[in-house]
Every structure is written in C-alpha cells, then in structure tokens.
Chains A and B, each alone.
Chain A
Amino acid sequence: MVEPSLVLYGGPYERAMDVLEETLRETGARYALFIDRKGFVLAHKEALWAPKPPPLDSLATLVAGNAAATQALAKLLGEARFQEVVHQGERMGLYVDEAGEHALLVLVFDENAPLGKVKLYGKRAAEALARLAAEALANPPKLNLDTQYREEAKALLDELFGN
C-alpha cells in the first residue's frame, strides 16, 4: 500500500474547481481547498470578497497532520473513521472532511457562514471530490519528464544550495 500519487488535471481538475466554487457560493465560506493526505494542495478556490488567505502550504500540512492523528485515534478506539471535524473560534472556523481514502476537503469560514450550511454542502462536496479522486487514481496521466528535467533541476539545486 505504497501511497499512490493523486494527480489531478484536465477534466477532473476543472470539475474539482467547479465543486469548490459552488461550495463557496452555497456556504458563504472564504476558502475551499482540496488537498491530499500528505498535505499537498491539489486545488483551491477563494471567494472573491475574501481577504488574502494564510499560507496555504502551512494550512494544508497542519490539516493533513491533524487528520492523520484523528484517524489514528479512531483506529485506536476500534472505529473505521471519525466524522468530519469542525473547529470554531470566535470569528473563524474550519471544516475538514475526508474525500475518499487519499484526499481531504477543507473549508475556512467566518461568522457570516451558517454552520448548518457549511456542514451540509461540505459533506456533499467531499463526496463529489471523493469520486473525482477515485477517477483520477484510476487513470493516472503519464509524465514524460526525461533526463533534461533532471539536468535542469540539478542546475537549480546548485544555485539554491550552493556547489
């Protein structure tokens, strides 16, 4: 069970973006992210009115770490999984739901977004994204990166890390 690479592009990517956009519209949330369980962002969308988001890398990493810990806790207690997670502060909230075995949906919302809607549409979005993820995993694209990629990358390594 080596972690498969979830690669999203073309049609599935467009549809994922549509799902995220619709979810933002229906819930009034600020940001919607589709991330893999390793903590990499696969797709994300921000509401037009929303302020600049926090660093998405940090957000995705922490959510993935948190989800991994939560899943391990469920297993310890003999549960296959725990339900979605909602964190709520005074102004901001976070909704995290699993989109199948290898990905997660994250919604960041503020006090103007009704929690009921966030949960309802969050769940729907997670299900739609789970189907897209399954589809993408079943048809992995071929990546034709050759020696040229490696040579160019090597030159950049020299530049960034020194010779």
Chain B
Amino acid sequence: MSTINFANREINFKIVYYGPGLSGKTTNLKWIYGKIPEGRKGEMVSLATEDERTLFFDFLPLDLGEVKGFKTRFHLYTVPGQVFYNASRKLILRGVDGIVFVADSAPNRLRANAESMRNMRENLAEYGLKVEDLPVVLQVNKRDLPDALPVEMVRAVVDPEGRFPVFEAVATEGKGVFETLKEVSRLVLARVGSGA
C-alpha cells in the first residue's frame, strides 16, 4: 500500500520493474532518468555487479507534483532478474503498489519470461498478494530484434488470460518506456481512495 505522510503532505507509491535477467529493466530506468527534468527526479541508485547486472536493485524517485495539496511521488525499483538472486528479488517486492513486467522478445528467452512470471507469483504470495490484486503492466521489450517473437506469443506464456495492458518497447531507444510507466502510474493512482 502507498505510504502517506500527512505531516509533510506526501503520498508515495512503490513501482517495481520485474522480469527475467537481461530483459531491459535497468535500461527502462536509465532512460527515464535521462529524460525527466531536474527537480522532478532524485538520484538514481544502482546496486550492480562489475558487468552491470543488477545485484540488489536500481532505485529512482520521481516527483509527480502536487495533487490536492499532496506531494505525489513514485519510487521506481528494478529487481535483479538472474535466477539465483531470488532472495533479493523477494525483498524488493515488499510494499509494492504496482508492477511493470518487462518481458524479452528474443526466442531463446521465451521460457525465461514464463519462469520469471511464475517466480513473481510465488514471491508475491509470500506477502499475501496475488498478481490479480495489483496493477500490472506487461512490457514486451526488444521489439527491434530481427528475430523478435510475435507479441501475442510472448504474452501467451506470461499472461495467458490477457489480463494486463501490453506495451511494445525498445527500451534502448526509449520506445514504449514512458507509455508503460504512465499506464502503471495511472492504474496505481486509480486505486487511491477507492478503498483498495
């Protein structure tokens, strides 16, 4: 649930970018960091290995501005996608308000996409959460790959019921990055005050 600070009149939301290793989660955050003007963002913190794989998380705070007297802010996180970092991944999900699932269009990552989604369900379950209870947006990334799988094929393995809004993206070029973030933000905000 969102963190509300009445004293400072702030409402904070936590949005987590989830997905298999190398799908482009960190690339999303870097693009966002590069495009948001000063004054609307804080420092980006990346806990990564030498070869730039996320080790614990990336973090980027964004300032939406003042809404009805409340400063409204989003804290964006990425999880480490590599399978063996599950203990860290689980910790990052604590208190999550919305999720962007970044899937990889590469044919040899189809299975990794499916496994990552299953892993996310398991980890959420440890916090008593179901994917169905949370705003989730599916981003199908790396659409620029020459052998990119059809979007529907990627979707079929991570979201067979077609429940989540889907965005195609080329995160390295910023395509679809803001569209995805905007949609998850909208969904998260839509739950404020609705008793959810």
Among A2, A37, A42, A162, the residue within 8 A (CB) of B5 is: A42
Q: How many A-B residue pairs have CB under 8 A?
A: 127
A39 on interface, CB distance cutoff 8 Å: yes
Segment 21-63 of A: residues with Cβ below 8 Å from B = 36-43, 55, 57-58, 61-62
Segment 58-97 of B: residues with Cβ below 8 Å from A = 59, 61-62, 64-65, 67-68, 70, 72, 75, 87-88, 91-92, 94-95
A78 on interface, CB distance cutoff 8 Å: no
Q: Would A7 and B4 count as touching, CB distance under 8 A?
A: yes
Q: Look across to chain A and name the residue whose beta carbon is closest to the beta carbon of B179.
A: A161
Which bracket fits the contact residues of B? 35 or more
B-contact 0/1 string along A130-163, CB 8 Å cutoff? 0000000000010111101110111011011110
B45 to chain A, nearest CB (A): 5
A82 to chain B, nearest CB (A): 15
A112 on interface, CB distance cutoff 8 Å: no
Residues of B within 8 A of A10 (CB): 6-7
A80 on interface, CB distance cutoff 8 Å: no
B118 on interface, CB distance cutoff 8 Å: no
A105 to chain B, nearest CB (A): 16
Q: Would A62 and B45 count as touching, CB distance under 8 A?
A: yes
Q: Would A150 and B189 count as touching, CB distance under 8 A?
A: yes
Known: A2-B1, A5-B2. A156 touches B67 (CB 8 A): yes
Stretch among B36-44, B109-117, B160-168 lining the A interface: B36-44
A19 on interface, CB distance cutoff 8 Å: no
Q: Would B185 and A161 count as touching, CB distance under 8 A?
A: yes
A6 on interface, CB distance cutoff 8 Å: yes
A19 to chain B, nearest CB (A): 14
B121 on interface, CB distance cutoff 8 Å: no
Known: A5-B1, A5-B4. A153 touches B14 (CB 8 A): no
Please report B residues at the A interface, Cβ cutoff 8 Å.
1-7, 12, 14, 36, 40, 42-43, 45, 47, 56-57, 59, 61-62, 64-65, 67-68, 70, 72, 75, 87-88, 91-92, 94-95, 127-129, 178-179, 181-182, 185-186, 189-190, 192-193
Q: Would A55 and B5 count as touching, CB distance under 8 A?
A: no
A79 on interface, CB distance cutoff 8 Å: no
Please report A residues at the B interface, Cβ cutoff 8 Å.
1-10, 13, 36-43, 55, 57-58, 61-62, 65, 68-69, 72, 141, 143-146, 148-150, 152-154, 156-157, 159-162
Interchain CA distance A160-B87 in the complex, whole Å: 34
B47 to chain A, nearest CB (A): 8
9 nearest A-B residue pairs (beta carbon):
A9-B6, A38-B95, A145-B193, A161-B182, A13-B7, A3-B95, A68-B91, A5-B1, A40-B3
Q: Which of A9, A41, A57 has the most CB of B within 10 A?
A: A57
Known: A4-B1, A157-B64. A55 touches B43 (CB 8 A): yes
A40 to chain B, nearest CB (A): 4
Residues of A within 8 A of B61 (CB): 57
Q: Would B6 and A141 count as touching, CB distance under 8 A?
A: yes
Among B4, B40, B91, B127, the residue within 8 A (CB) of A160 is: B40
